[in-house]
Amino acid sequence: MQKAFKITLIPTQNQQVLINKTIGCARFVYNRFLALKKELYSTLEETLNYNACSQQLTLLKKEIAWLKEVDKFALQNSLKNLETAYKNFFHDFQKASCKGVGFPKFKKKHVSKQSYKTNLTNNNIQVIDNRLKLPKLGWIKFHKSQNITGKLVNVTVTRTSSGKYIASILCETEIEKHSQVAQNIGLDLGIKSYLVTSNGEVVDNPKYYRTQKRKLCKAHRKLSRTVKGSSNRVKAKIKLARTYKRITNLRDDFLHKLSARLIKQNSIICIEDLRVTNMIKNHKLALSISDASWSKFVTMLEYKALWHDRILQKVGTFYPSSQTCNCCGFINPLVKDLKLREWSCPNCHNYNSRDENAASNILSEGLRILTAAVGAPDALNACGELVRPGSFQAEIVEAGIA
């Protein structure tokens, strides 16, 4: 598997200057060739591909001397990113899909995140203890919080808005898998409670943005009162960025621990396929939904399930999990009202808690989809996505649902 190890660098003053130069040069190359592509596109001439851009970049280095001062792989990867952006745009345009992949835009200097990527060639990237070797930069110290194992692939260096330098080291490594378990679970994501499981467990929603909102407002007020261009304004911007970063770190820590525990304890996890983009259009719930970060949580479950041979099954968006009685299957249309948290089934008189009932229905529907998919050539789920690669049928039988 490919796994990224994120570390915080401790560069010297000269190394900081060179990192900033590399980020600037990568941005310059991206914008220059994007402008050239747009000019050719407007004149209906044949557009430049990556190879043609790479040849022109070699000639451009002879004209602009300071492009030679930085890592060559950073400039080449910048061209590759531009090529990928163009392909994504035209692919999305031809399919007439609504993914929102727009035309490539020029990169700005003053944005929250700046980065560049370099590749491994001839041992130009090495990791020894708490030191990282990068092209042109040499050895850089970093805060060691985890052991970096596996074969190095590439490194992405990022300068955050808070002034820190982060390196994401991508490695090909073997992941120690969890032991197999026979427990299956259904999850119902929510706002009041972050999630409720089919086993009756309720995980409270920490609501980190709302708890830190007072500090954010204070930091915003201090920033608004500073004079533009002053050193105090720079300090206020960094303090505001660090407050936002703290919220992100708290939320990520919560999501990582929760997803890791669920993956370790369960063999099959069934979850509803939520359309978060549409849900946040409700302005009354948009802040709470964004603070919950459901999409990131589902993404964590997906790649961790792949690492540890688990199955993550998504149930269709329009499946009436909350309205269906898990005892008799009666659909109660009155439960569409979000204020109704508990209800008795008119058919079988079973007393249902809204969230726990939904989690049980999601588990039953997910197992039904998996059972129906056994023997299918592609093993597709209700959303048309591949549930698991490889030995799908054998794993379904081992899980005891077939």
- The Cβ-side half-sphere exposure at 208, using a 13 Å CA radius, reads 17
Strands 2-10 and 114-119: unpaired
Q: How many CB atoms within 10 Å of residue 369?
A: 21
Task: Tell me the pTM.
Answer: 0.82
For 83-94, letters b (16+ CB in 10 Å) and e give: bebbeeeeeeee
Low-confidence ranges of the chain (pLDDT < 70): 42-46, 92-100, 375-402
Sole residue written with tokens 């060639």: 121
pLDDT at 194: 94
pLDDT at 35: 92
Token pair belonging to 315: 């149930």
Q: Please write the tens of the pLDDT for every residue from 216-228.
A: 999 999 999 999 9
Q: Please write the tens of the pLDDT for every residue from 90-130.
A: 776 666 555 567 888 999 988 877 999 999 999 999 999 89
Sign of the torsion formed by the C-alpha atoms of 60, 66, 68 and 71: negative
pLDDT at 204: 93
pLDDT at 333: 76
DSSP codes joined into one string, 92-157:
HHHHT--S------PPPSSSS-EEEEEE--TT-SEEETTEEEETTTEEEEEE--S---SEEEEEEE
End-to-end distance of the chain based on CA atoms, in angstroms?
Answer: 29
Q: Tell me the backbone φ, ψ of residue 321, rounded to 5 degrees.
A: -70, -35
pLDDT at 172: 93
Please state the separation of Cα 291 from the chain's center in Å.
15
Alpha-helical segments (H) within 225-353: 231-265, 276-279, 286-292, 294-307
Rounded Cα–Cα distance for residues 359 and 115 (Å): 41
Sole residue written with tokens 């936002």: 244
- Contact at 8 Å (CB) between 200 and 188? no
Positions annotated as catalytic residues are 188, 272, 355
Closest by CA position to 361, among listed 311, 320, 401, 317 = 320
pLDDT at 384: 40
Alpha-helical segments (H) within 179-230: 208-211, 213-224
H or E segment at 368?
A: helix 354-373
- Contact at 8 Å (CB) between 259 and 293? no
Token pair belonging to 51: 């190879």
Closest by CA position to 82, among listed 108, 106, 115 = 106
H or E segment at 31?
A: helix 13-42
Sign of the torsion formed by the C-alpha atoms of 267, 329, 358 and 369: positive
- Order the strands of the 193-197 sheet from edge to edge: 202-204, 193-197, 184-189, 268-272, 311-315
